[in-house]
Each structure stands twice: as structure tokens, then as C-alpha cells.
Structure 1
């Protein structure tokens, strides 16, 4: 242990479920479990609700999911943007905060993500299978060697710079997607650039002359992922990507397999994926080579449109398919191939496709570049975090 570090019980180092005074039956910022993204440092309130119970917290507190499988999936975030600095949320949060003159709240966040701390919490869950939780009192039983507060702040600053870059890339991507969607609508829905040209009647309505009407099914090849038996999920091999991975990323619960699948069921960075059951959405894959599970289409160009145009086209029309699935939902809403065949679009002529491609391709490429950079940054952060917090790597100004 470095000379000026000390050994603490975790419950002595951080304030767990600190007192926050809220008034009953008044409304406050609200954070629910699904708001937490295991890949991001910060979480922001998704709602404003009347207080009727739940975990209470203030800005910069760490929300630590204490229930399975959210804990195993890494749902741990630092809360921001609470109105009047306070809020409440799920009863399944433990709230962590730095102690005055002992611990820094940013460092506390990274400490709570440290693999040893997470593994300790997971191994100390109690309760019935499927509803196991870690209790606040469990953290009285873990001891850690930790740095003084000035070194804590420096460590947190290094790791926060990486997280800030990750979140900045995502903010840029949000703007780029909004721009691309507006451009798509202007060209393909409103026919804005062609209003001075000649239009013709079609089963889709009036469309620019030279364009054609095609079904969503006819503009691409939709390859459903493979079915994997439990016996085909092993410790080695490629990751098997299910809808949970599209929503929450690859976690330690993500299965692997060596199963031989069709080449079209192998995905890589830049693959456009269409989840058609339970969670209907369009995703741009960015986590390297993997195997695609059933209930997700790998969308492949068939010569009609480029992958870049297909991505934004499907993002534009997914709301239509969501409404179909909602009408059909019993336990799990979904759509069928017939719905793709029954949904029609106006498809531009060759010259107009090429013009739009020149506009949209750089946007698509920048979005993908930002996503893949985030994967590199995430790996860097996750490599540095345990080394800095354990003292295996020291910042220059604190070396002895």
C-alpha cells in the first residue's frame, strides 16, 4: 500500500443512502432503473413525479442498482440535472456520496464501478432467486486501501475526461442523426428538392417523375439471426447478440458460441440491425464481429439502395412498425415479413440516389466513427480504472 493511503471499510469511506429531505405528495425529478445506461457515467431524470417513496438523492450522487440482473449488468451512474438539486427514483437504488474531507463524490462513482467492489456486491446478494438484492449493510464487510482526497480528485479527473469524450461523441451523433433524418424527410417524404419538377400519379400518391414505388421488403435483404440452443453457448467463441445487447451493450452475461452460422448472420461494425420482436428499433452495430441471434434482422443491400440510405430510411419508418406491433401485442409485440411487404415507399431514380448518397454517406460514416471511437475509449477507461484505484498505476505527481 502506498505510504499515504489508508485502509477503510467501504461504509466508512462513502455515505450510503444519505439523508435527503423531500416533502411527501410534492413533485420532484424522477429517475427509474431503465434510465441508467451501463455504458455511460451520467443519468438524467426522465420524468417529474409526485413523491410516494423510493430512493432519494441529489446531483452528483451515484445510483447503484442493487437488484439482479441490473447489478450484474453494471447499472451504476452518477445523477445530474435534478431540478432544485434533488430527486427520487427506484427503490432498487443504493445511493452513494462522498464524505466531507474523506472522499470525493466523483471518485466514489468510479470506486463503485471497480470490478472488486461490483463482484463483492454480487456475491453478497440475498433473497429468492430472480429477486436477489445486496443490502446496504453488506458494505460494512469490505475493506479497501484508498488514496487521500487530493489524489482521488486527480484520478477521477483522468477517468472523467474519458467519459466526457464518450458522452460528447454521443451528443454529436444525436445531432447528426437528427440532421440526417430531416434531410431524409425533405427528400423522400416531402420531395422538397423536386417541387419544381414533373410529378406523376402512383399507388403511393404523387411522386417525382422517374421514381418508383417499392415495398420495404423489396428494397433490402432481411436475414434473421440464428437460433442458439443453451448447449451451443460456451465460454469461448464470438459473442451472441440478442436484443438485450442492442439495448444495453455487451456484458458479462452475454453468451458466446462457436456455432457455424450463415455468413449473413455474422455482423461487424457498420451492420444495420432491425429488431422485429419485443423491442422494435433500428441499430447501427459498433462492437466488432459477432453472431446475430434470432428475432433480429441483419439488413443487407440488394442493389436497390445503399446501406447508408437504408439505415436512415428504416429509422424514419420504424414508428409505423412499432404501431403495428403495439396493436398486435399480447405478451410480446412483433411484426412479420408480411408487414414489410405491405408497406410502400417512393424510391428515387439513379441520379437522385447518387445525389442523396453524397450528402448522407459522410454523416453515416461520422456517426459510425464516433461509435467505434467510444468502444476504444470505453476499453481504455475500463483498463485504467482498477489500476488507478488500486494504486497499481500512480499519477506522476503522487509517485513516491
Structure 2
């Protein structure tokens, strides 16, 4: 342990579920479990309600999911944006707050995400299977060697700088995604740039003269995937080909998976290799109708249709599928579970514009998606850096005073 660090019982280092006074006749910001994103540091309230019990907190407090599987999924966030600095939420939150003159709120957040603390919480959960929880009192048995307040703040500042850059990239991407959808609607639904021109009738209604309606199968190549035999686990060991599942599609621009299969597994299943920037659509399962775009050459399971560029760019059909999701699901079959077939997707009617009319728009969208992709890649690097530094800094394995210059250089190089 570094010389100026101390050993603390966690109860002596942070306030857990600190007492707060509320007015029962007033409404306060409310945070639900679903509001917590494991990939985001901050959580904002989603509603306002009158207090009827639950976890009470203020800005800067850490909300720590105490129930399975939310804890295992990493639902730990720092609450922000509370009006009048008070809010409440799910009874399944533990609230962590720094103690005056002992611990820093931001450091407490990072401490709660430290792998040892999370593993301690998970191993001390009690209750019936599927509804296990960590009790507040369990943390009385957790002892940690921790730095003095000035060093806590310095550590939190370094980690916060990384998280701030990640959040900034996410905000930029959200703006770019909203802009892309607005442009799609303006050009291909409202036909805003062509209102003074001539229109012709089509199966989709009136469209600009020179444009035609075709099927996705005419403008793009499609294929579905497959699942290599689970009886041969060697198919899933030391693989090099990313294998994407339908449950991983969430309307994101870039979809990646940690699971990889071998070339032998690919050759002995119905799965097919498809190029990067293929648009993937879930055909059945809980995420039916969801889409995504793969960032590298990969394959997928049989519940996904891969749509590959041929006549038109990938982002055009991606925006079309997102915009038309409700109409597409109306064509789904099945009662208990909706299903969409590759045939249905191939036969979907889509506008084929004159390329001379949209060349400028497509160039703008392509540039925007390049920025999106670069931001996502940068965030992966930053996330890996943060998750590597966090336990080393908090445990004292890496001292900030001794390695500040090297750490700041790494952060600078990571965001270039």
C-alpha cells in the first residue's frame, strides 16, 4: 500500500443510501432502471413523479443496481440533471455518496465500477434464483486500501477526461444519426427538394419524374446466415470470423460481436461471409425488425438477413429500413412471435432515385457516416484505456503522481 493511503471499511469511506428529506406533495425527477446505460457514465431522469418510496439521491450520487442481472450487466451510473438537486428512483438502486472531507463523489463512482468491488457485490448477493440482490449491510465486510482526498480527485479527473470524450463522441453521433434520418425523410418521403418539379404516379404514390420503384432484391444483394453445430465447440474456439446474432442488433450504425467462429465452422454451416458495411436486419426473435451495420467482414446467424451493396449505397437502405420499420412489421407472420423472411425483405418496395439528383446528398451522408464510424472506433479505444487504467489507479498499482505524463500522453494519442 502506498505510504499515504489508508485501509477503509467501505461504510466508513462512502455514505450508502444517505438520508434525505422530501415533500410528499411535490413531484421530483424519477430515474428507472431502464434509464441506466452500462456504456454511459451519466444517467438523466426520465420522468417526474410524487414520492412513493424508493431510492433517494442528489446530483453527483452514484446509482448502483443491486439486483440480478442488472448488476452483472454493469448498470452503475452517476446521476445528473436533477431539478432542485433532488430525485428518486427504483427500489433496486443502492445510492453511493462521498463523505465530506473523506471521499470525492466522482472517485466514488469509479470505485463502484472497480472490478473487485463489483465482484464482491456479485458474490454476496442473496435471495432466490433470478431475483438475487446485494444488501447494503454486505459492504460492511469490504475493506479497501484507498488514497487521500486530493489524489482521489486527481484520479477521478483523469478518468473523467476519458469519459467526457466518450460522451462527447456519443452526442455528436446522436446528432449525425438524427440529421441523416431528417435528410432521408426530407428527400425520399416529403420530396422537399423537388416540390417545384414534375411528379409521376407509382405504387408508392407520387414520386419525382425519372425516379422509379424497385424491390430491395433488385438494388441490393441479400443472404441469411446460419449457426455452426454447438456440439463441436472447436468451431467457436480461437475463431477469426465475427459471428453476429440477431439479439445484438439495436439500430446502431456499427455492430460488433465478441464471439468468433473458425473458417471450418463457416464452411460446414449455412452461414455466409459478407463484406463490411452490410446492413443487417433481424428476421425473428425479440429484436425482429431491428437493423445494424457491420464494421468488418463477418457472418451472422440464421435469424438475420444481410443486405449488401449493389446499385445503391448501404446507408440508403439502412435509413429506409429504420424509417419503414412499422410498415415492414405489418407484413410479419406468426402469432406468438413475429417473423420476417428474407423473401419479404427482398420484395420490399423502395424508391430508386436518379443518381444525378442525389449525388450531393449521398456524398454528404457518406461523409457523416465516416465521422460516425471514426467516433465509434475512438470510443472503443478510449473505453479500453479507461477500463485498463481504472483498477490500476484505484488500487495504487499505477501512481498518478509518478505516471501522470505518460497517462496523459496515452489519452492524447488515443483521441488523435
**Does TM-score exceed 0.5, indicating one fold?**
yes
Structure 1 alignment gaps of length 5 or more: none
Q: Give 1:212 shift.
A: 1.1
Is the aligned partner of 1:313 residue 2:296?
no
Structure 2 CA distance for partners of 1:37 and 1:285, relative to 1, 3 Å: farther
Cα distance in 2 for residues equivalent to 1:214 and 1:248: 24
SS state of the match for residue 145, structure 2?
Answer: strand
Cα distance in 1 for residues equivalent to 2:341 and 2:52: 41
TM-score with structure 1 setting the length: 0.87
Does structure 2 conserve the Cα–Cα contact (< 8 Å) formed by 1:265 and 1:298?
Answer: no
Match of 2:126 in 1: 126
Cα distance in 1 for residues equivalent to 2:20 and 2:251: 30
Structure 2 CA distance for partners of 1:315 and 1:137, relative to 1, 3 Å: same
Does structure 2 conserve the Cα–Cα contact (< 8 Å) formed by 1:224 and 1:265?
Answer: yes
Cα distance in 2 for residues equivalent to 1:80 and 1:322: 37
SS state of the match for residue 40, structure 1?
Answer: coil
Structure 2 alignment gaps of length 5 or more: 405-416
Cα distance in 2 for residues equivalent to 1:285 and 1:49: 40
Cα distance in 1 for residues equivalent to 2:248 and 2:51: 33
Is the aligned partner of 1:378 residue 2:383?
yes
Match of 2:411 in 1: none
SS state of the match for residue 126, structure 1?
Answer: coil
Does structure 2 conserve the Cα–Cα contact (< 8 Å) formed by 1:270 and 1:368?
Answer: no
Match of 1:345 in 2: 350
Cα distance in 2 for residues equivalent to 1:229 and 1:121: 36
| Partner deviation per Cα, 1:300-356 (whole Å, 9 max, x = no partner) | 22x23111222222222224335667xx78654454446536643322023234333
Cα distance in 2 for residues equivalent to 1:131 and 1:311: 38
Size of the alignment, in residue pairs?
A: 393
Match of 1:300 in 2: 308
Match of 1:159 in 2: 159
| Partner deviation per Cα, 1:145-191 (whole Å, 9 max, x = no partner) | 10001100110010011111111011111111122222212221122
Is the aligned partner of 1:356 residue 2:356?
no
Cα distance in 1 for residues equivalent to 2:274 and 2:86: 43
Q: Give 1:218 shift.
A: 4.3
SS state of the match for residue 358, structure 1?
Answer: helix
Cα distance in 2 for residues equivalent to 1:331 and 1:24: 43
Cα distance in 1 for residues equivalent to 2:251 and 2:57: 24
SS state of the match for residue 369, structure 1?
Answer: helix
Structure 2 CA distance for partners of 1:37 and 1:208, relative to 1, 3 Å: same
Match of 1:274 in 2: 281
* Cα RMSD (Å): 3.0
Mapping for residues 1-400 of structure 1, pairs under 5 Å:
1-24=1-24, 26-216=26-216, 218-227=218-227, 231=231, 236-237=238-239, 240-247=243-250, 257-258=261-262, 260-261=265-266, 270-276=277-283, 277-279=285-287, 280-285=289-294, 292-301=300-309, 303-321=310-328, 332-337=337-342, 339-340=344-345, 343-396=348-401
